[in-house]
Amino acid sequence: MEKYIFDKSNGLWYELQGDYYIPCLTVPAQEEKPIGIWRRRHLRYTRAERKALYTELLTSGRLNAYLSDINEHAKEQMLLLTQEMAEREGVTEQLKAQDQMLWVQRMNNIRDRAMEIVDHDLIYA
């Protein structure tokens, strides 16, 4: 028996493993992009909760691009929400100069609320 055979009907190569021919499948090369916190969180969620989407993205070679888009959108939304909430609540540089602890408390509160919104809208959606 031959080690490798080609099936013209489906265009796949098969490799002999013991008594069986197993398809030689490879994942297309993907562009390497930086890994951010939002990307890791969405990857963990997608891998655990949306297995069909994860498998389809992984086998089509679009997983890295998809996760990079999510990461960029989440960073932009987080920054925008934080700035808007700080302006609306009067958390300014003047407050920072007058009472640093109050400024830190309010900014931490704003950051936490913005993270919850980004998680709900993008990461766990």
The model's pTM: 0.74
Q: What is the pLDDT of residues 15-48, one digit of tens each?
A: 999 889 999 887 667 777 777 899 999 999 999 9
Domain check: are 37 and 11 in the same one? Answer: no
* pLDDT surpassing 80 at residue 11: yes
Both 75 and 24 in one domain: the answer is: no
54 and 113 within one domain: yes
Distance in angstroms (rounded) separating the CA atoms of residues 74 and 66 = 12
Residues 95 and 55 in one domain: yes
C-alpha 8/C-alpha 39 separation (Å) is 39
Range of the domain at 12: 1-30
Detail the DSSP E strand segments found in 1-125: 4-7, 12-17, 20-23
Q: Are residues 60 and 49 in the same domain?
A: yes
The predicted structure's pLDDT at residue 80:
98
Domain total in the chain:
2
For residues 114 and 73, membership in a common domain is answered with yes
Kindly state whether residues 45 and 2 are assigned to the same domain. no
